[in-house]
Structure formats: structure tokens, C-alpha cells
Structure 1
Amino acid sequence: MALRMVLPLHWSRTCPALALALALCATLAAATAEPTRPMAAMAFTLERGAPDACGTGCSEWIAAEGSVLAATPTDFAALLARLGETRPPVLVQSPGGTVEAAMAMGRLVRRAGLVVIVARTERSGALPAPALDGECHGACLYLLAAGTERAVAPGAIVTITPLDFPGPADAPFPPAMRSRLIAAGLMRVRAYLSEMGIDTQLADYLDGDRYEPFYPDRGLLELTGLITRDQPFGFGPTASQTGPPPRQRQDP
């Protein structure tokens, strides 16, 4: 979703560093959800399924469903406080959200020592169960990166959405400012990935100056450390996620 913020013109001329910093903060807080999806706030539910439903000895999990918005980290912190010493895995199903909020929640996930699995929670049966599919788009990637172990269900879809700061549709940022915003955003993202133990090479694919959104194949997810587990629920190796290679951005 493009940034919808207009800075006073005299700020850009007289205080370019301040204007750039304000634009960056506002843009990293802007939504990165799939554009056709509603921005319903992420909800957290502690689910209990059959014995071993989410792996050997695992019958409970946190279903994290919806978009990661500004209040999401606070809501998640409240859930962690209620859990006490319990550390169930997090099954995330998300269309995206905001980068800053996702990184803030990700730090809570890592501090709590939680496993993160991209998977939908199926509730059509007598008991809830992890589904073999799911979605993790946009800023959801930063939640996956936060897990102490990380997995993707066999039919789940993960997308990599590069940072891009075009500005308002009626007054787009000049190319030089857009590139500076991307570079500054990538610095924050690289620091976060390094903190999570993820190969910072992943940030190369998050450069909106070079790439468009794409579906990574399993090899890239493993190479960068986004996947550490082949068997998220103990039902065998996950199927390879095949997709087109990253597409270089073509400027008009």
C-alpha cells in the first residue's frame, strides 16, 4: 500500500534530513498487506486440538490470524502474560500489515522463545487442527523470521514484498528521495534480520529499487534461514514451494 502522507514543502527544502526521517517512520508504519485484502487486526486464540495435533507432545497452539497493525504487539504481549510459562507454537495466517509492528511483535516472539509456523487453523471438525495450507504475505515475513524454529505448512504460501516508498499518488516522492527512504528502511530491516539470526542477504530481495514482490522457492527460504524445520507438525517433509525467480524491477 502506498504511503499517503504529504510533508510541508518548506520542510523538504529547509530540513531535508527531518523530512526524510519523518517520511521513513510513517512509511515503515504504513500497511504492506496484499492490496485486495481487508485490514482486519490480528487476533490471537489459544487452540487445543487432538493429542500430537501440532507435533509430538503438542496439542495446543496460538492461532495468530489477521493483519499486524499498530496495536498488535500490545495485544500479543497481553496474551503472553496470560500464558505464564506455557510456550505453545504460533500458527500464523496473515495478509501482512505494518513493518514496524511486525518487527515489534517479532521481538516479543523471540524473547518468549516461541516456534513460528505458517499454517491456517482449521475449525470445521470436532476439534481445531493445523491445516496443511496457510498464507504469510508482506510484513508477516518478519513474524516468521522471529521464531526460534521456523516452518511452513506444505500448501502454505509465503511472499516476499520489497520495501518501496512511492509517496502519495498525487505527489509522488522524487526518485532520489524514494531511493534514500528505501536505503534507510533496509538498514533497519538488516539490523532486525541479524538480530533474529537470519541471513541478511535476504534484505537484498527486500530492495524495492531492484525487485518486485515475488513467491520465493523453498531453496531461498532455507538458504536465508527462514525455514529451519522440514516437518512442522510431524507429518512428513514439506513440499517445495515453487515460484518464479525474483523479478528485477523495470522502470518505465
Structure 2
Amino acid sequence: MIHRVLLAAALSLIPGVVRAKPPAVDAAFAPKLIIYPAKGAANACGPGCDRWIAVEGRIDQDAASRIRRFLLKVKDTQRPIYFHSPGGVVGQSFLIGRLLRSRKAVARIGRTIVTACGAATQVDDACLKIKTGGGEVEAEIVTRYAMCNSACSYLFLGATTREVAPDAAMAVHNSKLTMIFHGHPSAQQIAAFTERSTVKADRERASFIAAMGISHELTDLVRTVKFESLHILTRPELYRFGIDTRPTVETAWRLEGAARPYVRKIVLAKKDDSQSFRTMEWRLFCENKDRARLMFVREFDQGGAAVNSVIMIAGSEKPVIFGKFPARTGTYEVWSETIASDTMKAVLAASHLQIGEGASMSEGKTSLATFDIDTNGMEAAWTQFLASCPAAPANAKSVIASPGLTFSPAQ
């Protein structure tokens, strides 16, 4: 059984606000599955994590044996494994999935960008030689446009800890059977054999998914998706099926190249009263070396009370209420304001930022809902970004630093 290689673009997360197309991916994968150790900067793969295992490429007929040999040499069974694959041989994915389950592996979806490959495509011959040379490579993790599709989804299910970033994709579809007949069987014999093989393949898939502790809803869904198509699992589906059951998922802060570059973070948070999630995004722009601008985009609940204030707490600083009149685009609110350099330093020094959303209630009372977001990657991304910022104008008015940030409607 072989899945045709089908690629899917990562979804735009915020309509009208996040509009970006993925890079060309026609030749974005190695012809066979490769596995190698990688090392990055401090916290490159999460707080306290700077080493991981990269698994990428098309799942070929001998993939499981290579993965097994490699993992036998890795004593740290909790070192995270990052997958980036369009799929391949289904039977091999089942074998790898069971191997990962025996290790109680931690699996994530992410692209490993190897520094020594420079501006290469990451899959040309020179880069593949570096990746498969046997040594640990210097690299970084990028979750945006990363994918684990088709047969890759099954090996991913084998891990006991599974994490899918907000900007990564996991997609499924039904299998395609490739059969070779010898001799000259009749049409009836071919049809009967094909039917038996299809039933067997469906049974094996359902048995594997159930053994991995995943809801039968995933099996039911896969049966409805034609092989020629591809269904990207939504965040509620990932949660409901038991694939990634975190109530809040977030990306690291990362510098994004664009006509006007910015540092970005995305958070998906489960709503208290359902299995649905809402999307939030932070974009940090550089106006000059003494002043930044932060844009906060939140999805609002049309049936709930309107949020008229936002609070940020950085470290032990006193919370400050932000502006009251955000701009609206579709079902999203956009808040924005400048940040003084001293305030930016306080934000960078905090390991977490507490965000509070205040809504007016009856009798003049205000309810406040709070949640935390981490600052992982923020300092490195901002330091890199700041190097290209213009100097502050000599006649610029001084900006008084405050312990928080003030938002106003986007201009």
C-alpha cells in the first residue's frame, strides 16, 4: 500500500490579517526518509531544549529499519522528534509508529533548517550529504509550513506525546492500493482480490489507530476523504480525536521576512464551554531603535460580552489597562500601540507574559479573564530584528516608559 505524495499548504490563520502563501514545495522533500541529530540555540526546541532528532522525507519501503537502527543508539528517549514528511508507504509508517510507542517518544511537526546548507533547498545532494553524514548538525526549528501528511500521520500517532504547532499541518486521506498481478487473472478475480485487500487495509488502519489510543472518529473521517484529496485536521479535530490534547498551543516568537518584517507569535486557546478554539496573534514591528510597535489580534466571541480593556503583566510589574477602541476586521479585533525601549527590555526579561481581557458586565462590574503566553524565541528574534532598525530621529520626542503596553486602533 502506497500513498501518493500529496502536499498541503498551511492554512492562513487569521482571515484578513494573516495572508501568506507557502514556498514552492514540489521538490521540498528528500526521496526517502532520513533521520539525523540536530542542535540549536538555547531553547531552540522549547524551554530548556536545544537538541532534537529530525525525521524528514518520503516514507520508503526500508524506512522502518533505518529508523530503528538510529534510535537504538540514542539513549535519551525523551529527546523530541520533529517530523516533516508528505507521506509514503503505509505499512512502514505502522512499524515506525509502534517503535515510537515502545520508546514513549515525544513527537512534533517541524522543519529542521540546517545552517551549513546555507541558501540551499535543504534537499539538494550537498545538503542531504551533510544531514546524513552521521554527526550532529547545527540547525533551527521552523514550524510554519511544516507538515506530516498521509502515511506520516500514522507514525506520528505512535508517539505518546504529540504536539502540533498552530502553524503546522497534519493531513489525512484514504489509502491507494498498488497491486501487481502475475499471469492472466480474470476481471472477476481482480475485483474480488481488490475488495478483499481493501477490507484488510481498512481493518489494519482501524486496528492501528485504536491501539494508539486515538478516537475511532479519525478512522471514520479517513474513509470519507478520497485518495486524490487531502483533509487538514483542524485544531478541534486534533483535540477531539486525542492527537494533541493541549488546551492552549502556541508558536515561538519568530522573525518573519516580509515587505515590512516583524516578529510574530500565534496562540490557539480552547474555549471554556466547548471543544472549539480561538485564534490570537501578536506582531512586533520596529519603528526605530528606541521604539517598537506591537499589534495584538484577537478573535472575539460574538455571543459573549465585548472586551473593552486588555492587561499585560511582564514579570512582577503592575498591570496596565490598554486602549478601549480596537479596530475590527471580520471576526477579529486589532489593537496596536508603540512601546518604549525600556518597556521592551522589561518584556524581553520576562519568561512569561500574562494577558488579561476585561469585559463590562451588568451593574457597572468588569470581569477579567487571564492567560499566560511564553516569550520563547522573543529575545533572539528581536535582537536580530533590531540590528536592521533605523536610528531614532534626533528630534524625536521622548517616550515615557510604562510597565505595560497601551493599545489603540490600528492605523
Contact map agreement 1:61 1:90 (CA 8 A) in 2? yes
Q: Percent identity?
A: 25
Task: Determine if contact 2:218/2:241 at 8 Å carries over to the other structure.
Answer: yes
TM superposition shift of 1:60: 1.0
Q: 1:163 to 1:88 in 2, by over 3 A?
A: same
CA distance in structure 2 between the aligned counterparts of 1:196 and 1:181, rounded to whole angstroms: 23
Judge conservation of contact 1:33–1:39 (CA < 8 Å) in 2.
no
Per-residue deviation at 1:132?
2.5
> What letter corresponds to residue 202 of structure 2 in structure 1?
L
The residue type equivalent to 2:236 in the other structure is: G
User: Of 55, 60, 75, which aligns to 1:64?
Assistant: 55
For 1:199 and 1:93, the matched residues in 2 are separated by 23
Correspondent of 1:237 among 242, 267, 273: 267
Closer, same or farther in 2 for the Cα pair 1:51/1:238, shift >3 Å? farther
| Distance across 2 between alignment mates of 1:103 and 1:94 | 15
Where in structure 1 are there 5+ consecutive unaligned residues?
1-27, 243-252
Kindly provide the amino acid, as one letter, of the partner of residue 73 in structure 1: A
The 1:192–1:241 alpha-carbon spacing in structure 2 relative to 1, beyond 3 Å, is farther
Q: Which residue of 1 aligns with 2:290?
A: none
The correspondence of residues 139-154 of structure 1 with structure 2, limited to 5 A, is 139-154=151-166
CA pair 232-103 structure 1, distance change in 2 beyond 3 A? farther
TM-score, L = length of structure 2? 0.46
Do the aligned residues in 1 keep the contact of 2:52 with 2:80 (CA within 8 Å)? yes
Aligned to 1:45, which of 20, 31, 36? Answer: 36
Match of 1:197 among 213, 217, 221: 213
What is the distance in 2 between the residues matched to 1:39 and 1:172? 38
Deviation at 1:238, TM superposition (A): 4.8
1:103 matched residue in structure 2 = 94
Native 8 Å contact 1:54 1:233 kept in 2: no
TM-score by length of 1: 0.71
Structure-1 residue corresponding to 2:103 = 112
Q: 1:156 corresponds to which residue?
A: 168
Q: Which residue of 2 aligns with 1:220?
A: 237
1:131 aligns with 2:142: yes
Shift of the 107–166 alpha-carbon distance from structure 1 to 2, 3 Å rule, reads closer
Q: Shift of residue 62 of structure 1?
A: 0.6
Assess if the C-alpha contact under 8 Å between 1:110 and 1:146 holds in 2: yes
> Structure 2 CA distance, aligned partners of 1:241 and 1:98?
35
Q: Which of structures 1 and 2 has the larger relative contact order (alpha carbons within 8 angstroms, sep 6+)?
A: 1
Quick check: 2:83–2:109 contact (8 Å CA) kept in 1? Answer: yes
Greater Cα shift, 123-132 or 219-228: 123-132
Name the stretch that deviates more: 158-167 or 72-81: 158-167
For 1:37-62, what per-residue CA distance to the aligned partner results, in whole angstroms no more than 9, with x for missing partners? 67711111111112221122211111
Structure with max Cα Rg: 2
Instruction: Number of aligned residue pairs: give it.
Output: 212
Flag the structure with higher helix content.
1
Which whole-Å CA distance do the structure 2 matches of 1:226 and 1:172 have between them? 41
> Does structure 2 conserve the Cα–Cα contact (< 8 Å) formed by 1:149 and 1:228?
no
Q: Is the 2:61–2:92 contact (alpha carbons within 8 Å) kept by the matching residues of 1? A: yes
Q: CA RMSD in A?
A: 3.3
Give 2:284's aligned residue: none
Q: Could you give the per-residue CA deviations for residues 79-132 of structure 1, whole angstroms, max 9, x where no partner exists?
A: 111112443111000011111000101111111111111111123499522112
Whether contact under 8 Å (1:55, 1:233) holds in the other structure is no
CA drift at 1:143: 1.8
Provide the rounded CA distance (Å) in 2 between the counterparts of 1:223 and 1:198. Answer: 9
Contact 1:152/1:238 (8 A) holds in 2? no
**Alignment CA distance shift 1:86-1:205 (3 Å):** closer
- Equivalence for 2:222: 206
